[in-house]
Structures are given as C-alpha cells and as structure tokens.
Amino acid sequence: MAKRRTLMRMITIQRVLVKYGLDEIIKQTHLLRPLRFLFYLAPRRRRSDAPVGERIRLALEELGPIFVKFGQAISTRRDLLPPDIADELAKLQDAVPPFPVDQAVAIVEGAYGESVDKVFERFDKEPLAAASIAQVHTAKLKAGHEVIVKVLRPGVQEQIERDLAVLRALAGLADRYWEHGKRLRPLEVVDEYEHTILDELDLMREAANTAQLKRNFQDSDMLYVPDVYWDYCRPEVLVQERIYGTPISDMKTLREAGTNIQMLAENGVEIFFTQVFRHNFFHADMHPGNIFVITTDPARPKYAAVDFGIVGTLSPEDQRYLAENFLAFFDRDYQRIAKLHLDSGWVPADTRVDQLETAVRTVCEPIFNKPLAEISFAQVLMRLFRVAQRFNVEIQPQMILLHKTLFNIEGLGRQLYPQLDLWKTAHPVLKRWMSEQLGGRAMLKDLRQNLPQLRDALQELPAILQHLGEQAAEGRIKLNLQSPELKEIRDQLTLQQRQRYWLTAAATAIVSGVLFMILGSNTEWGLGLLAVGGIAGFIARP
C-alpha cells in the first residue's frame, strides 16, 4: 500500500510539472527518465504565457510544504538565480495561500477546549501571514498583550509524510544506481531532512527553541527574540509576542528610515557565526519572511527574528573541524585544509595530501585575486563540491542544514549590502572562538570536567590490580610481562601519570598567576606564570 501511494504521488508530481510546462526538469533529471512514460498519463500540457518563474512558483505551491520550503531556501540566492525567478520564489516566503479561517478557529478551539472568545480578548480572523507549515493570526490576550497565534495547517503531517516517502524512494534509486550515490549518501540526507521537518510540526518544540534563543541573545544589541506565552502553547498552536518591525525585504522603507544598511548586513553574519560557534544553536530557517528590522535607532538597527521551528546544532568535533577549515581558508593554508579532510575521515585514507592540496588551491587561489567583497561562498562551495567528487569525499548529512543556512545568510546579506565582506566579518568571531577553545580558560574547564573521571579511575585501579594478582597467584591467568596487552596497560598508566603531573602543574601556575594579577603584587610574574600554565596544560592534552 505504501509503495502504491508513493508511485501515485510520483505521478502527481509528474502531472503538476507537465501542467505548468516544466517538462525540461523531468527530461534533465536522470533518475526520472525511466518514468517518462508517465507523460502519456498526464493531461495535455497547459499552454500558458506566464513567465517561467511564476510557473515554477505555482507548481511548488501546488505540490505542497516540502516543495515550498525548497523554493524558500533558494529564493535568497539572487547571485545564483535569474532575477525574474528569484522575484517569484520570494513570494513563497510570506505569500502562500492561507487556509480557511473556520478551520484555523476549529484547530485553536480544539486545542484549548473552549471558544476563542473565552481565551482571547480579540482574535483576528484575517491571517497576518501564511506559510507552508502553518499560518499566523494576530490576537490580544485578556491581560492586554498583543500576540500572534500560529496554527498548523490541517492535514500537513500526512502531506509531509507522503512526500518524505517519495524522497526516500528517489534516494533509494540514487543510492542503488547513481554512480555518486554511495559518496553523497542520499538516504542519510533524507533521514536528516525528515528529522528536521517533522520537528517543525510540533509547535511546543518551536516554543522551546524560541525560549533558548532568547536566553542566548538576552542582552544583545543586534538581535531581539519575542517572548513565548507558555500557558497558551500547544503542539498545534503557538502564542508569542507580536513583533512590530520592517520586513527585511522592504528595502525602500529601510532606506527611507535612514537605516545603516552596511551595519545591518554585517551584524547578520556575526549573529549567524555567533550562533554556530559560541552558542552551538542556530536559527536554520532565516529566509526574509522570518526576519524583521527594528529601526527605533536607524544608526544602530536591530534584527527581530521569528519562526524557530528549524534549528541546528553541531557536535564539538564538527564545530572544531568547520572553524579550522574556515580559518585555514582565510590564511590560504591549503595543506591544512587537505589534512583536515583526511584527519576527519571524510576522504579515503589512501588519499594523497599533496594532490588534494593542489586541487583545493586551484579552486581557491583565483578567488583571492578579487576583492574579498566579490567572493561568493556559494560559488566557492560549488567548486569544492566538484573537487570532493573527484576525491570521493563523503557528504556529511549533519552539515547540510548549516550549508543551507549559510547560503541564506550570505544571500540575505548581499541583498541588503552587495559589497558585504562575509569573510572579514566572520574572521574575528572565529578567531575569538578558537582562542576560547585553546586558551587557559578552556584548559581549566577541561581539567574541572575530567577530574571526577580521573578520581574514579584511580580509586578503582587498586582493586583491579589486586584482582589480577589473585587470578595470577591461583594460576587462572598467566602473567606475561612482555605481552602487548600488559605493555599497553603500562603505557596508559605512564601517560595518565604524566598527564596528572602536567595538569597539576598547569592548574597551580594558572591559579598563582591569576592571584599575582589580582593582588597586583607583580604583573610580570603573573603573566609569566599564566604562560607557564598554558604551556603545561598544552603538554598535558592527550
């Protein structure tokens, strides 16, 4: 039954593409070529004089939420799309047709178990905005707060699950038959996307994401996150503070208000890199429909963001790998980039570092002959993907959300301020983060975190050695003092003893240095002890 539904959905997609005269998409998609016979089952191609951008937008709207989100994601990349198509896809950000208000009211009343008039002082029937997953109504709480009420579209979960089945079927074909299928890991990519999109259907999760981001930027003068009214939130209904600001896409109004557009664009980049590296919790749906600007002080404009249904995180290893790649790129250290790819296990172990280094240099070096403001991260990444294909680099599904978000940020920034220097803005944030990760404070944090495990291991060590001795005395084990296993134990004990020594020395030196600095008795001694502590802590690292 499930396979039948998937096939029927594929036929529907085929018919919609034919209906809007988008046959070339099918003809150029290799995986769908075996399904070309379905053209004969489709209705006659609609003869329309509508521009191709409008036809693409209408087709995506008709195909449903997943396709609308795809259109939203690429709409910000005006440097990659023809202007007419970009203009049409931009309408998907806040101009998706709304669903009937009586359905919205029924969902809200079902969630609360009482009428909207008893819950709200005012509930505006006309939607403020409609998107692929939900639509928004303005309202006023009994306590007097102006709010927005976000309501899930009826039947949206069934639609998304149906389209995920189609994506999974296509990914299975790619994994099995496409020459690059194993390297690009399409099934894992769909798994990652499925996790992301299904999370977006739980508005309680979105409320929690909003609260977390608000804490992260509590005292920020760059980003404002609205309050959540938890007593009114349900899985299908979200109530939060109403934001009054200028849509980021309304450049005319922003300029008329005297907004510092350059600062706005650069702040957007800094906010993103701060979220990724300092907070490790980033807003991953930053298309223009979700971003507003507060221009109370036009010289220091402030972002206001909404719609936190999709957020991203990275493992510490991925964070470190990504930051080091960025910094190596800034420094034109192509050998470092090649080694990072090899050390991460993302390229085959037998890859020659010098060959990968040369390939990366060939892509990156010509870019540095241009002013940095003219460098497009998207174009660099596309060229690096071709290098990745040559060296069989495995695509990491957990990075896809980050790449998509960075594309959106860069596209948004260039829309605001075409001279945006992405690298110059991001570089200080990354340097600061790397310094925090490798500095004395980070070492003290590692020491504090690892001391309990070290203490427990030391407490258990005598019992383990006694047990081994008893077994040897009873003849149950034969002790081979030259065995590789015993040598490994000795080496580990020696390593642990050395690490304990250096960690103790590092902690003592750092604490002493801090005391010298605070008491002001001898600043030079304080700096010297801090340096010694840093060196000792570095030696102690495994």
pTM: 0.68
Instruction: Quote the pLDDT of residue 20.
Output: 79
pLDDT for residue 32 is more than 60: no
The CA distance from 114 to 398, in Å, is 42
Highest mean pLDDT among 424-428, 501-505, 514-518: 424-428
Average pLDDT over residues 104-126: 94
Instruction: Quote the pLDDT of residue 330.
Output: 76
Q: Return the closest-CA partner of residue 479 out of 488, 468, 489.
A: 468
DSSP symbols for 326-361? HHHHHTT-HHHHHHHHHHTT-S-TT--HHHHHHHHH
Q: With contact defined as beta carbons under 8 Å apart, do 180 and 213 qualify?
A: no
Burial 152-186 (b: 16+ CB within 10 A, else e): bbeebbebbebbbbbbbbbbebbbeeeeebeebbb
pLDDT for residue 219 is more than 80: yes
DSSP symbols for 10-30? HHHHHHHHHHTT-HHHHHT-G
Instruction: List phi, psi (to 5°) of 218.
Output: -55, -45
pLDDT for residue 412 is more than 60: yes
The CA distance from 74 to 449, in Å, is 42
Instruction: List phi, psi (to 5°) of 160.
Output: -70, -40
- Mean pLDDT (the chain) is 76
The CA distance from 380 to 383, in Å, is 5
Q: With contact defined as beta carbons under 8 Å apart, do 78 and 86 qualify?
A: yes
49 assigned to active site: no
Of 285, 333, 343, 421, catalytic = 285
Predicted confidence (pLDDT) per residue in 332-373, tens digit: 888 888 888 777 776 777 888 888 889 888 888 877 666 556
Helix (H) or strand (E) run with residue 375 in it: none
User: Which tokens sit at 324?
Assistant: 């080091």
Contacts 24+ apart (CB under 8 A), 123-129: 123/149, 125/101, 126/101, 127/98, 127/101, 129/94, 129/289
